[in-house]
Chains A and B, each alone.
Chain A
Amino acid sequence: MSQASNKVFANGWMAAVYLFLYLPIITLVVFSFNDSKLVTVWSHASTRWYSALMQDSDLLSAVFLSLKIAFLSALMSVFFGTFTAFALNRYTRFRGRTLLSSMSTTPLVMPDVIVGLSLLLMLVSLQHWLGYPQRGLFTILLGHALLGTAYAAVVVTSRLKEMDGKLDEAAMDLGAKPLQVFTLVTFPLLIPALVSAFLLTFTLSFDDVVLSSFLSGPGYNTMPMVIFSRARLGLNPTINAVATVTITVVTIAVIASSFYTSHIERKRKREMAFAYSDANN
């Protein structure tokens, strides 16, 4: 094969994969503006499913519950995920390190149904002994925070690996206490990673249907649970409308956050270059 035909093949392959990944999403969006009740047959453009969505109180309260859970569980995930990343990266030797590292990767790969069932059985036993917690918002929150912690730990770890320990050492040499090193040096450098960990765990929680179904109690239906029960019954144009709204919001958030992190990155590089040039003069 010649160089040029190689290039064509490579580009064609990549284009085909992107088409495969985006075709379903594009169809969802296009057909959300379809007037027909038949989801897959185009009649003419309208926004009737969006107005139907605004009146769908079941779905709207589910969206509200999901947003609340996603926000709180993302906060918890970033908190515990940062601890996990620090424990595993700053202390290379301690008893139970292998245990901690394998426990922290378990929620990433273990099938959702197992994580959901085992968590539920633990919480039911706990309730048996202590009379607490009741199944509902709190139990869903715990499940999502567990999953999120595992992902947040990965994101924070990769940032910690990029950062060199020299700045921490320098701060310590200048007399900063460990907590001061963290709040004044490490934490500010970590902020972009914490922001992306927050966004990632927020969307994971907002998306989860299996853990929520196991851990939820009566009256606590998250948005994916409502969508899932409707999608099981068949096609439903309001789902397309919800999808379009979600996709729009997520896309804007992802693009905005990637601009934000690259802006911070550039700013820091500028400041570092400046500091070095100062030091050399």
Chain B
Amino acid sequence: MTKLARFSQSLTSGKLIVIGVPMAWFLLLVAIPLLIIMKISLSEMEATSVSKMISWTNGLPTLKLNFSNYQFIFSDALYVKTYISSIKYALITTLICLGIGYPFAYFMARAPKHIQPTLLMLIMLPFWTSFLLRIYAWKTLLVSNGVINNLLMSLHVINAPLDMMNNSFSLTIGMVYSYLPFMILPLYANLSKLDLRYLEAAADLGTSPFKAFWLITVPLSKAGIIAGSMLVFIPAVGEYVIPELLGGPSTLMIGRVLWDEFFSNNDWPMAAAVAVVMIALILVPMAILNRAEAKLEEA
């Protein structure tokens, strides 16, 4: 078949349209913007616009690359510290979510079959209600004259209000709270498919339930653990709203730096460079996530 014949055949069968429409949509809104952000990170801010990368002198194009944004990021101690701190908070969030979410997903998968859909819906429901409002709710709970402090003081558990707000404690609580469903859902999907006969066989052979859990259940749910962890870790690195509302000025998060470069300093190339370094940091976790999801699909 000639190329043209194949092309016209795929056009009539609709294949070209079915593939072409989403392809064009995502190229325009994902791929091209990511290329542009890289391009702009290599330019500098000139008055109100971004400097041109290619300038024409005597009819010849000259390429002007400006690496000063990156130089600045890597030489400035505060930027480096902020990246490290963002990764640290994302990591802590991921570990706590796993610690709370794994047992939860495990118990949910073992709950009576007929109540499982309800349990699942109760996990999803907060996800449907506004994320912003739920973060705001934590603010009303945690501030020094907030609901928790008032309650504890009226019960005479404490005499002075606990300092729970605008620090790493409030930031971590907000992050764990927001991302917990993202950990539970892939773990539950994975654990609910686990073949219980393996565990029965292990028990028949005299393995204790505790040992069977570590030797059978955990290894078999590896794909779920990885997918859940990455689904929490990757967006948590760049989180902006939670540190802005709950973190106070002392907690360093790179999403806020990007926001301030853009909205307060109006330095678009710098904001773009901050974003490109962040993308570089989450590239490996994203590759791991893609592999884990492919594995989950196979199962």
A49 on the B face (CB < 8 A): no
Chain B residues touching A, range: 35 or more
Known: A25-B134, A235-B143. A110 touches B235 (CB 8 A): yes
For B129, give its contact among A100, A119, A125, A246 (CB under 8 Å): A246
Cβ–Cβ contact A243 & B244, under 8 A: no
* Interface SS, A side: helix
Query: What 0/1 readout, one digit per residue, does chain B (118-157) give for beta carbons within 8 Å of chain A?
Result: 0101111110111111111111110101110010000000
| Segment at the A interface, from B61-69, B216-224, B267-275 | B267-275
A64 on the B face (CB < 8 A): no
How near does chain B come to A77, taking the closest CB pair, in angstroms? 11
The answer for the CA separation of A210 and B121 in the assembled complex, in Å, is 26
How near does chain A come to B259, taking the closest CB pair, in angstroms? 6
Known: A90-B18, A235-B139. A243 touches B235 (CB 8 A): no
For B29, give its contact among A41, A146, A227, A250 (CB under 8 Å): A146
The answer for the CA separation of A84 and B29 in the assembled complex, in Å, is 14
* Interface SS, B side: helix
B211 on the A face (CB < 8 A): no
A72 on the B face (CB < 8 A): no
For B240, give its contact among A91, A107, A112 (CB under 8 Å): A112
Cβ–Cβ contact B272 & A121, under 8 A: yes
Cβ–Cβ contact B125 & A235, under 8 A: no
Chain B residue contacts of A102, Cβ below 8 A: 290
Q: How many A residues, CB 8 Å from partner?
A: 78
Query: What 0/1 readout, one digit per residue, does chain A (103-134) give for beta carbons within 8 Å of chain B?
Result: 11111011111100111011001000000000
The answer for the CA separation of A179 and B293 in the assembled complex, in Å, is 31
A228 on the B face (CB < 8 A): yes
Chain A residue contacts of B108, Cβ below 8 A: 14
Question: Could you name 13 residue pairs across A and B whose Cβ atoms are closer than 8 Å?
Answer: A25-B129, A83-B21, A110-B234, A111-B255, A114-B278, A117-B272, A207-B132, A231-B139, A239-B133, A243-B133, A246-B129, A247-B129, A258-B121
Excluding A227-B133, A231-B135, A258-B121, 11 further A-B contacts by CB distance (< 8 Å) are A28-B137, A90-B18, A94-B15, A109-B234, A110-B234, A114-B279, A117-B37, A203-B130, A224-B132, A228-B132, A240-B140
* B interface list, Cβ under 8 A from A: 13-15, 18-19, 21-23, 25-34, 36-37, 40, 100, 103-104, 107-108, 110-111, 119, 121-126, 128-141, 143, 145-147, 150, 177, 180, 230-231, 234-235, 237-241, 244-245, 255, 258-259, 262-263, 268, 271-272, 275, 278-279, 282, 286, 289-290, 293
